[in-house]
Amino acid sequence: MTDNNLGEKIYEGKAKILYRTDDPNVLLAYFKDDATAFNAQKKGQIEHKGEMNCAIATYLFQYLASQGMPTHFIAQTAPDWMQVVAVKILPLEVVVRNIAAGSLCQRTGLDLGTELRSPLVEFYYKNDRLGDPLFTEDHIELLELATPEQVQQLKQMALLIDRHLRSFFEQCRLILVDFKLEFGLDASGQLLLSDEISPDTCRLWDRDVADPKARILDKDRFRQDLGNVSAAYHEVMARIQTVVSQNSRDR
């Protein structure tokens, strides 16, 4: 683990703060306990979220890296600190869906819980003022947010990540309903999976629970005021830890 000196704060988002280090290619991310929903109209805190999301994202980035996926993850340097590659984030949220929930139900009228015949990839324009609108590939080209080649690459990477994550979460007895990814370009122009993967950015349902509210183990507990939010994140972390240690023993 390289020790980098904490430099200037370069960005503060809803869930993380990014700092420069003495290496221009390396940043430090601090994971906050703050939670927001509905374009920051709802605000709160989830106890120990920063540490839990940092640990969960670390496990998932390491798992995806072991499957050959390029990510910005370098190391977890403290419970709520992650060292990452400095990238230029594309202003796109790439959402992959396996089961209908959230805005897909509102947009299409599909019932909550409908299994999709094949995974659906969607792009949203990261723009708080516009409320992160759904974008077609032509919109992306129009605003030159990414090249058509990069858009195809993003889709391919998102679908591959979905395959790997579904099989991993299956081992955790968790259903991966949908999730949001962000990608960035490193100094050499390579696309890297960036940001985080955590219960803030995924919908995860307990495979062994049928009740549609009780099975929710992600930020929907916060969005819908269902209670036990921190406990749900803890459950996800504990199941991931168990599977990771089982898999490393089996190797």
**179, 205, 222, 233: which one binds ligand UDP (CB under 6 A):** 179
Q: Which is nearer to ligand UDP, 140 or 202 (CB)?
A: 202
Q: Choose one: 48-56, 63-71, 153-161, 178-186; the region binding ligand UDP (CB under 6 A).
A: 178-186
One of 178, 182, 206, 235 touching ligand UDP (CB under 6 A): 178
Q: Are the CB atoms for 229 and 222 separated by under 8 Å?
A: yes
β strands within the chain, DSSP E: 9-12, 16-20, 26-31, 34-37, 42-45, 73-78, 81-85, 88-89, 92-99, 115-125, 134-135, 174-185, 191-194, 202-206
Near ligand UDP by CB under 6 A, which window of 17-25, 61-69, 176-184, 207-215?
176-184
Q: What whole-number distance in Å separates Cα of residue 141 and Cα of residue 137? A: 6
Query: Does 36 interact with ligand UDP (rule: CB under 6 A)?
Result: no
DSSP-derived secondary structure for 163-192 = HHHHHHHHHTTEEEEEEEEEEEE-TT--EE
3-state helix, strand, coil in the chain (%, to 5): 35, 30, 35
* 195 to 214: interface string for ligand UDP, x by CB under 6 A: ------xxx-----------
Nearest residue to the partner ligand UDP, using Cβ: 102
- Min. distance of Cβ 151 from ligand UDP in angstroms? 18
The Cα–Cα gap between 60 and 66 comes to 10
Nearer of residues 95 and 151 to ligand UDP, judged by Cβ: 95
In the block, tokens 């009740």 appear at 211
- Cβ-based nearer residue to ligand UDP, 20 or 221: 221
CA 81 – CA 26 distance, rounded (Å): 13
Least Cβ distance, residue 249 to ligand UDP (angstroms): 31
Q: What is the DSSP letter of 105?
A: H
Q: According to CB under 6 A, which one of 20, 72, 219, 221 is a site residue for ligand UDP? A: 219
**Contact pattern for ligand UDP over residues 131 through 170, marking x by CB under 6 A:** -x--------------------------------------
Amino acid at position 141, single letter = E
- Per-residue mark of binding to ligand UDP, 75-114 (x: CB under 6 A): ------------------x-x-----xxxx----------
Contact 154, 92 (CB under 8 A): yes
Q: Site residues (CB under 6 A) for ligand UDP?
A: 93, 95, 101-104, 132, 178-180, 201-203, 219
